Every structure is written in structure tokens, then in C-alpha cells.
Structure 1
């Protein structure tokens, strides 16, 4: 009995030690180095230098731009998300289930590819929509300049409003309708009930979704990089990128980047704290034990107009940008009209089979996605097992470290990895594919922990205890019982990591070298170099890969559920 206890003790400590080592190496060290480099100069703690950097004109302007853009996107995204959530849950809108699914599509698409499409449509001189209004309708100038604060806010709203839509539609579906029914019996009409009762009750969910929009908008690199840099609109992530790539990694540029990264971390922590406070206060208000189906608002004559509004919005946010990407990718030269004689598949063939740059980018993204997904999946199983099943001190710290990268922007993770693994501490991975891999593992560890923890929660402790009582070692119990039972969670974790890694830009754009471009970086750099048709063609290929991956996930999940 004692030998078995000793064996179990040794296994537990080994798994705990391995979990600590993984998270310290890929998460804790890079994060700590950011704060260390921001506040520690020449062996001394120095806050005055931080204040000095924040007061520099370009830094101050980037901070202001980040605030303006995130507030604007949060405001518009919250209105759009709340309105459509109410429409598909509380009215008799036709095809509500289909509309609900379509409103979630932008959540799965890369925002920077959408920004690229809108650049092709609404750039002041070359945009197809603007040219139509100038050349055909005789306008004196462009209809809309996408290279503006309003343009960036518009595009980011299209891709971030699902954060509010998901939160609010879920709250409305779970909400106890007792108060609404009481108001209706008292003679209040449905619009008054919606305005005075429904919206206040789901306000915590609205605010929670709004804070998520703000968090992601503050951290977004791609949209601002595509639409803002050309006219001098920088936010914090794009200024970090400029400092790292245009200053050859000088001390001053790294120092400024770490200060900006610290601002992002503090902002993200504040936003997440506010979200938790709001959810804690609002959770009890709307969910009750009884289940009723709330009365739907009869739209009557507005049913068709509101359905058309939904379809037009979906057309502008999903169909038009996607069609534009594929059409421009098929043009012989950017700027030509979309006619049969100007369209060709040569660009797609060249991108896929002939051009080394893009072939390497596709290979890098797929190999990095597969490798990071496999490593993070197995590491997540180990760490999740320690957190969920083992009674060891310090596992709360493991959970915190595992979830931390999910709470901070990708540019912060990339900068931390640069500081940790660029040779200063004996290991130089800079400009290699390995530094991107380490960053991906850190970035997506939270996805693996969430999926595997949920699966492990369903495995009863008695199964492992029975195996141990029958003489099995701890490793045999894990291999023969735990791993087979949590395999669905592992598969889910794999795809939750693989697909985002395929379309990732914010981390990769700070870490790539001459031969380590990913798909996202290749699309961005091709666009920056003026290779518009090739960037569009590669973006179209990326969209196909992403959609096929999403379909595969749904089929696997559906198959497992039916089984």
C-alpha cells in the first residue's frame, strides 16, 4: 500500500512539476520580462522613464487613437449586436434560425481580410464603389474614405458585433419572462416592455459583450494596419509593430514597445475585471427555475422590411467582401473592370503551385497550426488533469498562468517571446519558425485547458480509484481510462487551436523572418508591397481553408454527439 502511495505521490509531483515547467517557460517568463524591461533600467526601478515615453507625441497619439477606435467600435458594435439579438429572439422575424447562424459567420472570418476587401471597395481613388460613383454617377469625390477613423470603426464593427450578439441572444433566450408577463397584464405594450423591462434585465450581458468588443478592438492589429497606417492612424499594436520592425530592435524601440505592451496588459486586466463584476451582479437577475416561452413581438408590416434589412446587412458584411476578395484575386491586373476577359485563374495557380513565397507561407501556417495544436493539446491535458483531478498546492497558479495569454493581446505575447528567446538568455530563436511555435503554444493554451478541463470534469474519480485498487499504476490508469474518455475534449482542443493558428496575424507579424512568413503575414506583406491581386488570391485560399476547417469541426462534433 505504501509503495502504491509513493508511486502515486511521485506521479502527481511529476505531472505537477511538468505543468509548472511548461507554463513558466512559455507564459510566465515572457510576461515577466515585459514588465521588467518596462520599469527596470540600468539596474534600477524607473517610473519616470515610463511617463516620459507615454508623453512622447507618437506614443500619446497611438494611445488616444486606441481609445477613440475602441470606444467607437464598442458603441456601434453594441447597438448592432443588441438590435439583431433582440430581433432573432423576441420577434416573429421570418427565418430566425437561419439569420442567427448567419450573424455568427463574421465571428469566424479574419477581420484583416475583411479590411483588405473594403480597402479594394472604398479606397478614395481606386476603390470599386468609389470609382463607380465618380465615373458613372458623376460624383466630385469618393462616396466614402475607408482610410479614416470612421472606416476602421465600420469594418471592426462588422466583425466584432457577434460578441454582443452571442451574449444578448443567450440572455434573452434564458430570461425568466415573469416580469414581462406581469407588465403585459397591467396593460403595457410590447415596445414599452422591451424598453423598460427586457433591455434593463439583459443589461449585464450587453455590457459584458461590449467590454469584450473593447478588449479585442484595443488589441486588433490587422484592421488598423491595413486601413490606418497609410494615413498615419496608429493604435498601440501597430505602433509596437513599427517600433520592432523599423528600428532594427534598438534598445529605445524595445523599451517603448514594452511600455505600450504594459498599457495593453493593464487595460485588458481592467476590462476583464469589470466584466466579471458585471456578470456577478447580473447573473441572478434573469434566470429562473421555470421555463416559459416569452410572447413574440408581432412585426406585422415590418416583417419583410426587417428581414430585408438583415439580408442587406449580411450581404454587406459577408457576401460583398468575400466576393470582392475572390474577384480581385482573379483579375489580370488590379483596377481592371470585372469582365470575363479580365478574369483568370492564373493568380490562384501561381500562388498555390509556383510562387515560393506563398507556398512557404501556406506550408508554414499548416505545419505551425498542426504542431502547435498537437503540443498544446497534450500539454493542456496534463495541466488540466493537475488542475481538475489532483489535490496539490499551487494548482490555482497553474490555472491563472494557463488562462493569462487568452486575456492579453497577441502583440504582448509576441513581444514577451522576443525578449525571452532572442539570445539574451542563451537561447536564440529569433527569425526562426520555433519562436512562432512557442508564441502559438502560449497564445492558445487557454483553449486547450478549457476543452480538456470540461472533458475531465465528466470523468468520475471512482474510475481511476478502481483501476488503482485493482493494481494498475497511475500511468496505466491514465493511459487506459482517462485518455480514452477525454479524447473528444482533446479533439475539440486540437481544432480550437488549429483553425485560429491558420489565420493568425497579430503574433506572427512581429515574429516572422525571411523564410517564416505565415498565411496571414504573407497576405499582409503582399498588400503592403502593392501586390494586390496576389494578396487577394491568397486571402481567398485562406478563406476556403478556414471554411472547410469549420465544416469539418461541425461534422466531427455532430458525429460525436449523435454517437
Structure 2
């Protein structure tokens, strides 16, 4: 009887602690995510700014302010999502289900493009294909004497190509994971019945991987419509606007109300397509492919097509991974992108100020702005990683250990809300939220604190997902035993949960570090000369015609990102299931 009473008391104490923790976490998430978005909406509804809605939607300038950028944005989203599903799905099918040569190499290379910032690929494209339409230096191909047409050098076509080559790795990862779970019995039965590879693909594999295809397409669409760097670098010089570039332009020229309205509409569009994708998947329930039987089916024999398909895959992978890095590295040494592989100089790296080259701008080692930006960027990455790990751990711990109740459901939904918000719109929301004083609290615009808070909130879904994965691996009975001995929540968390999950948490923190140091869309509106970051400096130098400095800075970002990503992969020590066999 005494034991029963103690157990009941323990459950009541646990429930009480769970309620307190849920309240604290929910209040924190509301402050980080909900209030910035709400503040943005309320700002546009004030008497002196509400006219911005009619200006954007029905005014005489609405065509240029909203509808033309909207058309370009939707075109980019649909084409890029379609291209990513086809290219990522093709590579996933090769790696998971066929006997294509160099499967492991293809699988590893297919995951790399998403680690490379999209503005790096856009800069590399300009170094190759830029023509003389907008003045300044021309690209390597034009320098070789080739006549590069405007449609290939600028505008919608290069934007579509660059974004597809950037986001297809996201589709590959999702589709490959789904293909790895396809029931082998289904494929083997079809093979025994004499079905050809094409019939198996269309009749079995595609139907059962529909959720993955829809999810991949939705995420690639959301990423493409919210991307700022690529359309800004390849489209703005020829006045091709998207909603993200128009939002940036409005705030840059002081038309904040119109900019916030465009940001709100961009969030609604992105969220609507993600919601539609989820509805399509949740509307059907006949996708079960994992049962208690079956082993890995024999891989599809491509026969004479093995090497041609391998070559086709390698062309896409080299174009999206190796080529941009080679082009950017070469351009950081070349005096002109027209002579990309000759007359190299170290000036853009270690040169002192000289009026005879680059208008007196010193190399990045001696450039005080770039050196300061490097220190700020690294500090930002570390601060956001640590803050993200802490907030993500508390959030995931709450939802994993105290699942029941409406508060847990709300916490889960709110924590993943930033996935629906494009980075540039989230940055605009934080300008509205913390850019001006709030009661006794001073304005944070132009401060390091604003960058950290905004970065932590924006990347919270990734930290929560990582935290949830590692928390679920730690048995709850360990903490329960410690609680019965009188250990406090903080003591249990620091002495049991964190030590046991430290490798996974560290890997997740490194991934957050990588995402924030290479991000441009979030920080481009929060950038100030007193608080510079490398990605925005690279964009500024590229926009002002100093491509070598932009490319050198981008190479530094790439080096840091790839090194940190390799460390994270080593810490996780998890092989992709499609690379095991």
C-alpha cells in the first residue's frame, strides 16, 4: 500500500514538473517564433501602414510590386521542384535499386550539393557564363570568344538550373530513404512474373514511394520560392524580380510596410504548398511497405545501360559539386574571370592595398572588414549552435517525455513553424519585432544579439528534430530512478540525458553551425556595417563587381562548411541504409 501511494505521488510530482516545463518551453517558443510573425502582421494593420496592402495587391504599381514577381516565384518553385524530384529520384533509384557502377560514390556525391550555399553556385555560374550585357567583367566562356546569349547568362533560365542543382540533393535524401524500405517481396514477385524494369518502376516503386515524392517536391518548392541569393545575383541585374528579391528591395529603400506585406504573402504561399503536399499524402493510407517478411531484392541489372547511366549521373553530380568549387577557387586567383586559368595572383587573398588593382581593396587576410566578418560569423555559428542545442533539447525533451496534453501538441506545431517561413521573411519579421524598443528593452537592430536570437529561432526545427532523435534513445527509466533518489530536473538533465546523448547533440549543433554560417536569406536584412557576416559580404562584393573577393570569401565559407559537415557525419557514425549493400 505504501509503494502504491509513493508511485501515485511520484506520478503527481512528475505531472506537475511536466506542466511547469511545458509552460516554460511554450512561452519561450511563442517569444521566439509566434510574436515576431504576429508583430509583422500587426505592423501592416496600423493606420499609417495599412495602405500598403492595397498598394501591393490592387494599386497601380501592384503588377510590378507583386504580380510579376509572384509569377516568376511560382514558375521557379514549380520547375525547380519538378526537376529536383526527377533528378533526385533518378539518382536515388540508381543508388538503391540498380547495379550501377560506383553506387557508393554517387550516393555520397548526391548529398553534397545542399551543403554548398546556393550563392556559391550562382557565383560560379556567373564566372563561367556572364556576358557583357550589364557591363563589368565577362565570364570565362565569353573570354574564350564564345557568344553567350542573354537568356543563358542572366534571368530565369540560369536561376532554374542553379536552384535545381542545389536542391536536388534534398529530394535524393528523402526518396532514397523511401526506396530503401520498398518491400522486396513485391519486386521479386514482379521479377519472377517476368515484369520488365520499366513496368516494376511504374507499377510498384512509384506508387509506394508517393509520400516521399510529394514531400521532396513540397520541400524543394518551398526552398526555391524563398531563395534570395540566386535570383538576386542572376536576376536582379536584368530586373527579374521574385517575391524574395522584391521584399529585400522594399525594405532596403525604406518602404517597410510594403516589404512586410510581401513577406506575409510569401509565407502564406510557401505554407499553402507545404500544407497541400501534406494533405495529399495524408489523404491515402495504403503506403505500407515494411512487413515482417522479406529481404533485400536482387538489384535491377542495367546491362548495357550501366555505364551510360553512370556517366549521366556523374555529369550532374560533378556539375553541382566539383565544378562550382573549382571555378570559385580559380576565380579567387584570376585577375579577370575572362582569363580564369591564367595570370593567377595571390592579391585577393594576401595582397596589400594597391591602387593599381581592385581599386585599392586589400586581400582578405589584410581586409579588416572581412577579418571582422569572419570572427563575427564564427562567433554567430557557435552561439546559434549552443543556443539551438539548449532550446532544442528542452523542447524535444518536453515532447518526448510528456507526450499527453494539448500543450505538447502545440509545442510540436510551433517548434516546426519556421519551416513554413522563408528566411528573408523571417529576417523581416525580426526587424519588426526587435528592431525598435519594446517597453524598457532597447532596440536590437545592428547587434550581435539580434543575429543570435533570429538564427536560433529560424533553425529551431533542425535542433528539435536532432534533440528528439537522441532523447528517444535514452531510456526514461534512468531518469525515473534518479528522480526517486531526489535528483532535480537540472541534475537529471546534466548528469544523465546530456552525457548519454552528447554525440548526437554535438552533431546536430555542428549542422546548425553550418546552416547559419552559409545562410544569406535570413541575415541579409539583419546585416549592418558594425555587425558584418561573411555571406552578406560575399553578396555585396559580387553586386559591386568585385567577383574575386566574393569568390574568395565563398571558398572560405565552403571550407568551413565542408569541414564541419564531415565532423558531424563522423560523430553521427550512421551509414545511409542504401550504401550498406
Question: What are the superposed Cα offsets for residues 296-337 of structure 1, whole Å, 9 maximum, x if unpaired?
Answer: 332222222222222222222222211110001012344335
Unaligned 5+ segments in structure 1 are none
1:15 equivalent in alignment to 2:15? no
Distance in 2, matches of 1:143 and 1:422, equals 40
1:519 equivalent in alignment to 2:531? no
1:243 equivalent in alignment to 2:250? yes
How far apart are residue 9 of structure 1 and its match?
Answer: 7.0
User: What's 1:395 paired with?
Assistant: 408
Preserved contact between residue 26 and residue 407 of structure 2 (Cα < 8 Å): no
Preserved contact between residue 470 and residue 504 of structure 2 (Cα < 8 Å): yes
Q: How many residues align?
A: 549
Superposed counterparts of 1:120-519, under 5 Å: 120-125=127-132, 126-134=138-146, 142=149, 145-245=152-252, 247-248=253-254, 253-280=255-282, 281=284, 284-339=287-342, 342-350=343-351, 351-390=363-402, 394-426=407-439, 427-519=442-534
Preserved contact between residue 131 and residue 142 of structure 1 (Cα < 8 Å): no
Preserved contact between residue 171 and residue 216 of structure 2 (Cα < 8 Å): yes
Preserved contact between residue 504 and residue 572 of structure 2 (Cα < 8 Å): no
How far apart are residue 392 of structure 1 and its match?
Answer: 6.2
User: What's 1:51 paired with?
Assistant: 57
Superposed counterparts of 1:58-77, under 5 Å: 58-77=65-84
Distance in 2, matches of 1:83 and 1:156, equals 17
Secondary structure of residue in 1 paired with 2:487: coil
- Relative to structure 1, the CA distance from residue 530 to residue 471 in structure 2 (aligned partners, 3 Å threshold; closer, same or farther) is same
The CA RMSD measured in Å over matched residues stands at 2.8
Distance in 2, matches of 1:298 and 1:8, equals 57
Preserved contact between residue 8 and residue 474 of structure 1 (Cα < 8 Å): no
Q: Which stretch of structure 1 is more off in the superposition, 223-232 or 35-44? A: 35-44
- Relative to structure 1, the CA distance from residue 478 to residue 364 in structure 2 (aligned partners, 3 Å threshold; closer, same or farther) is same
Preserved contact between residue 130 and residue 143 of structure 1 (Cα < 8 Å): no
Preserved contact between residue 130 and residue 144 of structure 1 (Cα < 8 Å): no
How far apart are residue 485 of structure 1 and its match?
Answer: 2.4
Unaligned 5+ segments in structure 2 are 1-5, 133-137, 352-362, 577-581
Secondary structure of residue in 2 paired with 1:353: coil
Larger helix percent? 1
How far apart are residue 490 of structure 1 and its match?
Answer: 2.4
Distance in 1, matches of 2:52 and 2:534, equals 40
Question: What are the superposed Cα offsets for residues 494-535 of structure 1, whole Å, 9 maximum, x if unpaired?
Answer: 112111111010011011111212111011001111111111
How far apart are residue 124 of structure 1 and its match?
Answer: 2.1
Distance in 1, matches of 2:149 and 2:191, equals 50
TM-score normalised by L of structure 1: 0.90
Secondary structure of residue in 1 paired with 2:124: helix
- Relative to structure 1, the CA distance from residue 44 to residue 463 in structure 2 (aligned partners, 3 Å threshold; closer, same or farther) is same
